[in-house]
């Protein structure tokens, strides 16, 4: 006669709390790792330009290479995870990310650096895009708290990558900056392997043939297509601002060194504090009004950087970055509102357009910088912000019967 197994005993409260805290910490490490290396070279650009004997426009391709690769790889990261499992893809992506990060340290030319940076971008979506799906699948309770930890990790990772690279380069060389970042990537991979629970609600999917059809349908939806254009402009603004401001502040009258250039990214932390308030503002006054207000502040902020005094420049950068954080919250959540089915495909497209905007934001302003310096670059950035406002006012119409829902499509970093 078969004997029945005794029911599983629930974990003691202390053990359950420990398990919850470790997996939440692992999610924070995922956000941290995903954005640790993506923008880390920004404060190093003047140093890299001198080392590789390259112009500002040419060395800005160090950022373009990674963001372009993210744009190409992001739509496929979810497909790979649906086939092989969420945790496996997250951990393996973090581990693989450490390899090109270490390889970048050995670059003997700008071309070699660009190749390594491209591969960094290829592996990055396997962390940030898949983590969002993992949390929504595996957390039965406390999804909001888990996602808040993830967002905090992305902001901390974006800031830390820039700050660590600047501090290490200032005291040794830019090569050791990449080695330090690679070590952190590997450590994050180990932490996630140890602390992320195995997939419990994952079911392998073999049906990816409908994804291109769903994406085409989303592109034929005018408000949704306009939202993709908004995402393009949002990251264009951020990358253009914080790439070329390094050259502006390294030159007279500021003459900031590498460490000081890394410290200007402290203004990101202001945006991180303000952004949660933006979520409540979206619920109260709507996506359109929130984005317009955010980017009007951004236009004022980028123009304020033309004042040749460092406090004014820092205030302008704080306004610009905060506007971008708020605009990204409005745009990414609006995708979830507009998409009628196949939301994964809708988000994948948004991420693709978003990071394509970042690629152009690193490369295109180089022409303006070469011809007119920082004032010409500011004019371009302000024009893109005004275009974003126009797209929002023209295409973001209130839709009767739809209820806003929180939906994360990626972070600013």
pLDDT at residue 15, rounded to an integer: 39
The C-alpha atoms of residue 241 and residue 324 are separated, in whole angstroms, by 11
Q: What percent of the chain has pLDDT over 90?
A: 51
Q: Which of 225, 250, 412 is nearest to 320 (CA)?
A: 412
pLDDT at residue 399, rounded to an integer: 40
State the pTM of this model: 0.79
Over residues 367-395, the pLDDT tens digits come to 999 999 999 999 999 999 999 999 999 99
How many Å separate Cα 373 from the centre of its chain? 27
pLDDT at residue 105, rounded to an integer: 96
Mean pLDDT on 104-130 = 94
Cβ distance 45 to 247 under 8 Å? yes
Q: What is the DSSP letter of 50?
A: H
Rg value, the chain, Cα? 21
Domains of the chain: 21-197 (1.20.1250.20), 208-413 (1.20.1250.20)
Over residues 273-324, the pLDDT tens digits come to 776 666 667 767 788 888 999 999 999 999 999 999 999 999 999 999 989 8
Over residues 92-115, the pLDDT tens digits come to 999 999 999 999 999 999 999 999
pLDDT at residue 144, rounded to an integer: 58
Q: Which of 37, 132, 131, 140 is nearest to 89 (CA)?
A: 131
């Amino acid at each position: 006669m078969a004997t029945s197994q005794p029911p599983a005993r629930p974990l003691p409260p202390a053990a359950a709390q420990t398990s919850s805290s470790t997996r939440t910490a692992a999610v924070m490490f995922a956000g941290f790792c995903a954005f640790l290396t993506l923008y880390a070279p920004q404060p190093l650009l003047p140093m890299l330009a001198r080392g590789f004997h390259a112009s500002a426009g040419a060395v800005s391709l160090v950022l373009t290479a990674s963001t372009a690769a993210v744009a190409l790889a992001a739509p496929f990261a979810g497909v790979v995870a649906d086939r092989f499992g969420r945790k496996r893809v997250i951990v393996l992506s973090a581990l693989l990310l450490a390899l090109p990060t270490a390889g970048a340290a050995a670059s003997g030319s700008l071309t070699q650096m660009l190749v390594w940076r491209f591969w960094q971008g290829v592996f990055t979506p396997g962390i940030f895009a898949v983590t969002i799906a993992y949390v929504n699948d595996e957390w039965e309770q406390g999804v909001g708290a888990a996602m808040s930890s993830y967002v905090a990790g992305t902001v901390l990772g974006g800031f830390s990558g820039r700050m660590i690279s600047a501090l290490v380069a200032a005291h040794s060389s830019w090569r050791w900056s990449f080695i330090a970042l690679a070590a952190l990537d590997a450590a994050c991979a180990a932490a996630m392997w140890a602390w992320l629970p195995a997939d419990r609600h994952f079911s392998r999917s073999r049906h990816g043939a409908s994804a291109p059809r769903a994406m085409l349908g989303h592109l034929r939806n005018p408000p949704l297509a306009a939202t993709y254009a908004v995402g393009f402009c949002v990251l264009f603004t951020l990358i253009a601002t914080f790439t070329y401001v390094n050259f502006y502040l390294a030159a007279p009258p500021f003459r900031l060194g590498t460490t000081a250039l890394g410290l200007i990214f402290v203004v990101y932390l202001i945006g991180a504090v303000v952004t949660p308030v933006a979520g409540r503002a979206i619920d109260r006054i709507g996506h359109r009004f929130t984005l317009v207000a955010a980017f009007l502040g951004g236009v004022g902020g980028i123009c304020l950087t033309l004042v040749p005094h460092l406090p004014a420049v820092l205030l302008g950068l704080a306004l610009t970055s905060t506007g971008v954080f708020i605009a990204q919250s409005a745009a990414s959540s609006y995708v979830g509102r507009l998409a009628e089915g196949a939301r994964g495909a809708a988000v994948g497209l948004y991420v693709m357009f978003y990071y394509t905007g970042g690629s152009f934001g690193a490369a295109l302003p180089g022409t303006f910088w070469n011809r007119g310096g920082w004032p010409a670059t500011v004019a371009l950035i302000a024009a893109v912000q005004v275009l974003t406002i126009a797209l929002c006012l023209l295409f973001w119409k209130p839709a009767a019967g739809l209820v806003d829902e929180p939906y994360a499509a990626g972070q600013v970093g």
